[in-house]
Amino acid sequence: MVFPEYRPRRMRQNDTFRAMIRETRLAPDQMIYPLFVMPGKGKREEIPSMPGVHRISVDQLGREAKECLDIGVRSVILFGLPEKKDPMGSGAHARDGIVQRAIRELKNSAPDLTVVTDVCLCEYTDHGHCGCLIGNEVDNDATLELLALTALSHARAGADMVAPSDMMDGRVGEIRAQLDENNFHMVPIMSYAVKYASAFYGPFRDAADCAPQFGDRRSYQMDPANSREALREATLDVDEGADILMVKPAVAYLDIISRLHDEFDLPIAAYHVSGEYAMIKAAAQNGWIDGDRVMAETLLSIKRAGADIIITYFAKDMARLLQNS
């Protein structure tokens, strides 16, 4: 097949042909929208480094849920800003904690919405690390029980799926066992299986007030230089019972998404994180790029690399764009 017999431009000459041969499409029901839940009433605060994204109080969640469902976004993932923090992050598994209240509110006001929860301690510990400490080290094995209790408390409040993001070794197995013992064997685990120690989380740490007070997360999150290690991390989580494997961040790690997609037969999720969102928003606000087109192209690249599910602050914007095009 050589020119002039084969002309690639033939199938690009009009929109119908282009649509007919399109290999990848975005769909609102494959995007998960993150929500930051804060204490108080009637609160809706824009996060300065994430234009268009707000911290909202529990009473505002019904409205937010309706907005999502109306445009076809059927799932959210919850992050909480607790009233108070302590060394063990006990607010993470409190029966009346901020996320537990948020889940109950969403299940009441929007039963059709699927509620995923982020399972981690960093928003709840006063030192900002994702686990409890011995000295200045995060104690892996002691943290596992706290994470499992957190996942269980989310399930008890009505969460549809839990997503551990802490990067402790063995947490998927521990959470699976705890859920199963308590009759939550039908609650899936979307594991942040391959989570890199990334500067792209900067705006999120402002939003959720969870920056580590000393040191960094490099003793538990992955080194951005490594890709074969990603396969080992994913294998462990598969063996421990993960239902979905996540890669995070997304765009700087498209090669990792692609490798996981090829090597594993579980669904793949990718988290297009706060810094990735902020960069596009900032450039668009300056008039340097066409924000909508760059958003669509970026999310498409994540899908094309092999992600089935995309967690993104753009979920609502993208769903609206899809509706109007």
Where in the sequence numbering do the catalytic residues fall? 195, 248
Name which position in 274, 302, 314, 315 contacts ligand PBG (CB under 6 A): 274
The residue range among 115-123, 154-162, 260-268, 287-295 that interacts with ligand PBG, by the rule CB under 6 A, is 115-123
Q: Is 132 in the site for ligand PBG (CB under 6 A)?
A: no
CB of 5 to ligand PBG, least distance (A): 49
Classified as helix, coil or strand, 178 is helix
What span, in angstroms and rounded, lies between the C-alpha atoms of 64 and 203?
A: 21
Name which position in 56, 115, 122, 155 contacts ligand PBG (CB under 6 A): 122
Nearer to ligand PBG, 171 or 261 (CB): 171
Q: Is 165 in the site for ligand PBG (CB under 6 A)?
A: yes
Q: Is 120 in the site for ligand PBG (CB under 6 A)?
A: yes
The residue range among 3-11, 86-94, 200-208, 231-239 that interacts with ligand PBG, by the rule CB under 6 A, is 200-208
Total residues at interface with ligand PBG (CB under 6 A):
11
Q: Is 233 in the site for ligand PBG (CB under 6 A)?
A: no
Name which position in 184, 201, 220, 253 contacts ligand PBG (CB under 6 A): 201
Classified as helix, coil or strand, 285 is helix
CB of 20 to ligand PBG, least distance (A): 36
Q: Is 152 in the site for ligand PBG (CB under 6 A)?
A: no
Q: Is 119 in the site for ligand PBG (CB under 6 A)?
A: no
Q: Cα separations (Å) of 136 from 67, 199, 219?
A: 43, 21, 11
CB of 292 to ligand PBG, least distance (A): 20
What span, in angstroms and rounded, lies between the C-alpha atoms of 133 and 148?
A: 17
Among 192, 193, 202, 256, smallest CA distance to 224 is for 256
Nearer to ligand PBG, 213 or 324 (CB): 213
Q: Is 130 in the site for ligand PBG (CB under 6 A)?
A: yes
What span, in angstroms and rounded, lies between the C-alpha atoms of 325 and 316?
A: 14
Nearer to ligand PBG, 130 or 155 (CB): 130
Buried b (16+ CB within 10 A) or exposed e, 212-221: eeeeebeebb
Nearer to ligand PBG, 184 or 192 (CB): 192
Task: Spell out the long-range contacts of 178-184 with Cβ–Cβ below 8 A and sequence spacing 24 or more.
Answer: 178/148, 178/149, 178/151, 178/152, 179/151, 179/152, 179/155, 182/152, 182/155, 182/156, 184/152, 184/155
Name which position in 118, 160, 174, 240 contacts ligand PBG (CB under 6 A): 118
Among 241, 270, 245, 320, smallest CA distance to 32 is for 270
Which ranges in the chain belong to alpha helices (H)?
Answer: 15-20, 61-70, 98-109, 140-157, 171-181, 202-207, 228-240, 254-263, 274-285, 291-305, 315-324
Three-class DSSP labels, 52-103: EEEEEEHHHHHHHHHHHHHCCCCEEEEEECCCCCECCCHHHHCCCCHHHHHH
Name which position in 31, 65, 273, 296 contacts ligand PBG (CB under 6 A): 273
CB closest to ligand PBG, residue no? 204
Buried b (16+ CB within 10 A) or exposed e, 277-293: bbbbbeebeeeeeebbe
CB of 252 to ligand PBG, least distance (A): 12
CB of 161 to ligand PBG, least distance (A): 15
Name which position in 33, 36, 124, 204 contacts ligand PBG (CB under 6 A): 204
CB of 22 to ligand PBG, least distance (A): 29
Contact residues: ligand PBG, CB under 6 A: 118, 120, 122, 130, 165, 201, 204-205, 217, 273-274
